[in-house]
Amino acid sequence: MAKRDYYEVLGVERGASKDDIKKAYRKVAVANHPDRNPGDKAAEDRFKEATEAYEVLADEKKRQAYDQFGFAGVEGMGAGGAQDYSHAFRDFEDIFGDLGGFGNIFDQFFGGGRRRGGRRESVQRGSDLRYDLEIGFKEAAFGTKAEVSYPKEIGCDRCSGSGSEPGSGSKTCPTCGGAGQVRRSSGFFSIASTCPTCSGEGTIVEKPCAKCGGGGVLKKNQKINVTIPAGVDDGRRIRIPDQGDAGPRGGPPGDLYVVVRVRTHEYFERDGYDVYCVIPISYTQAALGAELHVPTLDDKKVKVKIPAGTQNNKILRLRNEGIPQAGTGRRGDMYIRILVTVPQRLSSREKSLLKELAALEGENTSPRPVPLSDLR
């Protein structure tokens, strides 16, 4: 297959800076690394191609020769074959600096905690867990307590999370010889990956625990009480520390994240800390004005004055009748949208009175459209 232009391989312009070339190489290398794409020959080829391109374009002399003479200009300068690519790999801390350095880029490829000399530097933490909790609209507004039940991993009480049968110990991993990593060659480079036998520990249990099978953890159905603060909104995550899965080999537990799902209300809807509702009134109440007793979110009856001549969709505001703001003592407001209802059936007396009113009003039978700006 014909070789592609090095600038095209990295997706940069010919005048690209060193930083741009470095960023472009990093992006391609991370996406196509063989350990992220096991068995994908095309990805491995793209990784090699990008590495070859970076090896040339990151070196001023090689780049100058390539710009002037193309591939022929760098044939004898360590590019285009299975040569020494140390230039491309001698400083992963620099190339992958904002991803956390050499250790963290391999965390992305292989997972797990950072290691030195193939061994874990710290005990691995347990997994975080998620629980979706559905509550009512008023429970979200004023807060509540809820019991949640979920499965989690706990440390084995027989082996104290070690995975070893009491009285037995561990031995050096036969696969990696205690290094915690195994190496394999892939073309012109050699890659170290986490040992699949010991998961990077360098040791394996000599006699697995009879209760947990050597895993160090057991499944348990956990029940805990969760406090939902007042004013919580739909989709809010509440973190419960140390209630996730236990860490392997006695490591610290993860956290539980309770995701709140709020049911809709029959009459109210929410916008931030404010609530909205629709109250119907008769056309005579709209014309003459009235005093109504309107239910609020916390089931109080509040007196609301409807001004004479109130129009349909008019908004009235009740201060401090909305959602409580936790820890502040303040509340949002309640907004009432007025819905003027028109009767569909009229008695003969009602019709007679309305006709008399229409005559007094001198109603216009040829109305002009209302400017849209008046409705905004």
Domains of the chain: 6-111 (1.10.287.110), 129-169+206-262 (2.60.260.20), 269-364 (2.60.260.20)
For residue 314, pLDDT beyond 80: yes
pLDDT of residue 154: 94
Q: What is the pLDDT of residues 209-225, one digit of tens each?
A: 999 988 889 999 999 99
For residue 328, pLDDT beyond 70: yes
Q: What is the pLDDT of residues 20-41, one digit of tens each?
A: 999 899 888 888 877 677 778 8
Which whole number is the average pLDDT over 101-106? 42
- The overall average pLDDT reported for the chain is 83
For residue 90, pLDDT beyond 60: no
β partners of residue 225 = 147
Which whole number is the average pLDDT over 14-22? 90
Q: Among residues 64, 69, 71, which one has the least CA distance to residue 49?
A: 71
Range in 49-63, 111-125, 236-250, 316-330 the model is least confident about: 111-125
Confidence band (pLDDT; 50, 70, 90) for 310? very high
Record the pTM: 0.58
**Strand runs labelled E in 263-346:** 269-271, 274-282, 290-295, 301-306, 315-318, 324-325, 330-331, 334-341
For residue 84, pLDDT beyond 60: no
Confidence band (pLDDT; 50, 70, 90) for 89? very low
Provide CB contacts within 8 A for 113, sequence distance 6+: 107, 120, 121, 122, 124
Q: What is the pLDDT of residues 139-195, one digit of tens each?
A: 999 999 999 999 999 999 998 888 888 888 788 889 888 888 887 765 445 677 888
3-state helix, strand, coil in the chain (%, to 5): 30, 30, 45
Alpha carbon of 266 to those of 82, 138, 320: distances in Å?
Answer: 71, 11, 21
**Cα distance between residue 297 and residue 62, in whole Å:** 73
Confidence band (pLDDT; 50, 70, 90) for 132? very high
pLDDT of residue 242: 94
